[in-house]
Chain A
Amino acid sequence: MHGLTPILSTVTASFLASFVEVVEAFTIVLAVGVTRSWRPALTGAALALAFLAALVLIFGPLLALVPITVLQFVVGVLLILFGMRWLRRAILRSAGVIALRDEEKAFSRETAALQRQADDRRADYLAAVASFKAVLLEGVEVVFIVIAVGAAHGQTFYAGLGALAAFVLVMLIGLAVHRPLARVPENALKFVVGLMLTSFGVFWTGEGLGAEWPGADLALLAIFAIIAVASFAIVRWLRGAYPAAAEGVAR
């Protein structure tokens, strides 16, 4: 699998998925930095990144010991579960069954929580913990995405590049605007990522079972198209059957 299609799809999936996760982590780190101070915000974020790097260094080399067909199958199954979870939420948000995620609201929630802790003598520590948790939890997803979309075909480097590009881009935009990135079309991105991850999952699980897909790597695009058409049809059906958009709680 060394054609342009798998490289492009790997980089794109990794970039878009990581972009969404980094935006969410950025919102919390920004809230900590603005509300409390930048020292606990950056300390917490740096410790989380160090912890994530340690996880990758410890578990990354173990993947090389797993036979490729087993790896493809296991990664494929995990990607089906992970991708369908993203896709389900994106479909429900697009149809108005659950509310869209709002970075401004997330920022306000975090800011309010930090202000309540302002008089606590451990306020700096608690602020650093908030930053640490946000970066760690979103970072775990980024690490999984990089490993999952990259490892099954030896493209971890390209997947890592996609994630790194997303990180750099969010930081640059964040430094420039210095506020939550609320204009990022998160649900549209999550929809595309859910489609891509589910497609990767079906493709690799099939390969893990021994399937030789017609058109080889190009079958990935066909699987993506089929899942996309079906997902948009589900959104359309939900909108028809559930016309009043719900004012649910964003999750």
Chain B
Amino acid sequence: MTVVRLVLNELVGMFVDDGSLALLALILIALVTAAVKLLALPPLIGGLLLLIGCLAILLDSARRARGKAR
């Protein structure tokens, strides 16, 4: 079972490095999905919001990493 645990740990680590980045990305995707499915937001606008949101999250994560390293 150690091998399975090793693989599972690796799988989690593949997606989560900076926990805040992963959490914010998931919240962004959830909000955009809800807006498209429940509020009839045009899917293309949803896709564009996703793109802009991802870049904002990336910028925030880089800014925080820089602050920590200072």
Instruction: Point out residues on A near B: beta carbons under 8 Å.
Output: 51, 55, 77-78, 80-82, 84-85, 87-89, 91-92, 95, 97-98, 133, 136-137, 140-141, 144, 198, 201-203, 205-207, 209-214, 223, 226-227, 230-231, 234, 238, 241-242, 246, 248
Contacts and interface: CB of A to CB of B under 8 A. Distances in A.
Nearest to A55: B7
A205 B14 contact: no
B54 A92 contact: no
Given A82-B14, A98-B69, A136-B3, A209 B36 contact: yes
B21 A85 contact: yes
B61 to A, nearest CB: 5
Interface in B9-26: 10-11, 14-18, 21-22, 25-26
A54 B25 CA distance: 32
Taking residues whose C-beta sits less than 8 angstroms from the other chain, chain B's interface range is 35 or more
Contacts of A92: 62, 65-66
A91 B62 contact: yes
Contact of B69 (A77, A198, A248): A248
A206 B7 contact: no
B65 A97 contact: yes
Nearest to A78: B15
Contacts of B18: 85, 88
Q: Pick from A133, A203, A209, A248 the residue with the most CB of B within 10 Å.
A: A209
Contacts of B38: none
Given A81-B15, A89-B17, A205-B50, A140 B10 contact: yes
Contact of A242 (B6, B22, B29, B69): B69
Contacts of B61: 84, 88
Given A88-B17, A133-B6, A227 B11 contact: no
B55 to A, nearest CB: 5
Nearest to B32: A209
26 contacts: A80-B25, A81-B16, A81-B22, A84-B25, A85-B22, A88-B17, A88-B65, A89-B17, A91-B58, A91-B62, A92-B62, A97-B62, A97-B66, A140-B11, A140-B14, A202-B50, A205-B29, A207-B47, A209-B33, A209-B43, A210-B43, A211-B47, A226-B55, A230-B55, A231-B58, A238-B66
